[in-house]
Amino acid sequence: MIMKNKTGIIKNRHRKLFVVLTLLILLTVAAVVGSGIYIFNHTTRSYREQILQNTSKLAAEQIDGDRVNDWFKNGVDTEYANTAKRLESIIDHTPFIQYLYVYQIKPDGCHVVFDFDTTDDELSKYDERPDVSAGSFGEVIPFDDSFSEYIPTLLDGGRIDMIESNDTYGWLLTQYEPVYDSKGQCVAYVGVDISMIGVDDFVKTYIWQIVLIAVIFFAGCIAIGARLYIGARRADEMDNLVSQQKRDKQLLREVIEAFAKVVDLKDSYTQGHSMRVAKYTAMLARELGCDEDTVEKYYDIALMHDIGKIGIPDSVLNKTGKLTVEEYEIMKSHTSRGYEVLKNISLMPEIAVGARAHHERPDGKGYPKQLSGDEIPRVAQIIAVADCFDAMYSSRPYRPRMNFEKAVSIIKGASGTQLTADVVDAFMRLVEKGEFRAPDDNGGGSTENIENIRTHDC
């Protein structure tokens, strides 16, 4: 009877532990999903606000304030036409602009100086944009009721904050930039409306992707938790804890490998990249004198180094051409995203380190934390060499792999700046032993120079 009671207590304790673990994992996944959505939405909005501010200032600089009143008094001239061309060029080369206009603000309304019809191929996909014709020079446009609170400030030539509206003209952010004459008097305002339509669609797509990954991650964590629960029960009942730990370790390896394959399947250009980087990381760790437990741990960490790419939009991840500044910032965020996904895995706390720090550099010019030297975790130093070598020495649909000797020389040249010196030394020793060269390598491959081995291929 005593034995049965003890067994019941142990089982009950295990059940409670499993429930608590499940709730903690669920809360962690929810936090990761929520923070990811917030970061994506905030980044997109900040990017468009910056475009709006820069465009309104640039447009105001194109207008000679001393000419505005002359145009109203004497009529338009050649300078007016040239100014219009410059403003149209700004529209043509700036994304997301829906309206650009220049008004004199007077008590009877907005007197048109310039007004342009704007078209954007991206915006044209959305039906909610109204059909608004451009006003002609000198036309007076009555004030809208919603604009009344800003009229006194504009009549005085002052500045107003950015305006957000969502009415018949669509979801817009609006910036009014004063145009001054040589006496410092405000003679007109440049108005720029940038469209926010489409942001919801981008966010919804992102939400679906990150929720899907979160569900997979949650299921994997639950599977691990369930296995641990069963294992703990068997260990208590059968005094076989050692064998159970071995099975749990194998399960963790299988789950990690499964997630690594999910990452490589998402990125169509880097099939098998995670597995190869893990293999190279293990080779380098052994050459550096690490024990087998450490080698295995580093292998698992390397498998998950790119897990954050699951949260990167396909349009950025699979883009073959050069990334824009915004796209590159999104791509770089895969390190922080990966860390957020992995940081709460208690079975292997270090697994998140490789995901966050594998793009750090000894010279402090890496990301996301700009770590330098020994501040960079050892496993991340090793993954960085393996990652960069595979990025160069693997074929992609849009380019052949790099010539082996060329790739080796670039790795050697990056020693101490982009890559940790003693890890590069270990790499070179393995190369001299005949390692790393692919069996089908007959000396071919590209010898084209590249600016930086840390491209978004890695």
Whole-number Å distance between alpha carbons of 256 and 342 = 11
CB 194 within 8 A of CB 91: no
Structure confidence at residue 454 (pLDDT): 37
The pLDDT score that the predictor gives to residue 446 is 75
CB atoms within 10 A of CB 406: 17
- What local confidence, expressed as pLDDT, does residue 257 receive? 62
pLDDT at 328: 87
Q: In what order do the strands lie in the sheet with 163-167?
A: 140-141, 109-116, 97-106, 186-195, 170-180, 163-167
Q: For 285-327, write each residue's pLDDT tens digit.
A: 999 999 999 999 999 889 888 888 878 887 887 777 788 888 8
The answer to whether residues 284 and 277 touch, using CB atoms and an 8 Å cutoff, is: no
Residue-level pLDDT at 148:
87
Handedness of CA 352, 354, 355, 357 (dihedral sign): positive
Longest dimension (CA), the chain: 108
For tokens 């960069």, the residue is 388
Phi, psi of 189 (to 5 degrees): -130, 135
CA distances to 288, 360, 364, 426 from 420, in Å: 12, 10, 11, 10
To which residue do tokens 């040239």 refer? 82
Give the pLDDT confidence of 264-291 residue by residue, as tens digits. Answer: 565 555 567 888 999 999 999 999 999 9
Instruction: For residue 164, give both structure tokens.
Output: 């957000």
- pLDDT given at position 429: 96
Counting as low any pLDDT under 50, the low residues of the chain are 1-4, 120-129, 452-458
pTM: 0.47
Lookup: tokens for 142:
């009555």
| Residue 211 exposed, middle or buried by CB count within 10 Å (0-12, 13-18, 19+) | middle
Architecture per CATH, domain 256-432, reads as Orthogonal Bundle (1.10)
User: Which fold does the domain 62-197 belong to in CATH?
Assistant: Beta-Lactamase (3.30.450)
Number of H helices, E strands in the chain: 15, 6
Query: Residue 361 and residue 423: Cα distance in Å, rounded?
Result: 13
> What is the structure's pLDDT at 204?
67
Q: For residue 97, what pLDDT is reported?
A: 85
pLDDT at position 92 = 87
pLDDT (0 to 100) of residue 129: 46
User: Residue 361: which residues within 8 A CB-CB, separation 6 or more?
Assistant: 372, 376, 384, 417, 418, 419, 454
At residue 368, the pLDDT reads: 92
Domain ranges of the chain: 62-197, 256-432
DSSP code of 344? T
H-type alpha helices, 162-304: 199-238, 241-266, 273-287, 292-303
* Residue 52 near residue 98, CB atoms below 8 Å: no
3-state per-residue secondary structure call for 48-77: HHHHHHHHHHHHHHCCCHHHHHHHHHHCCC
Enclosing H/E stretch for 194: strand 186-195
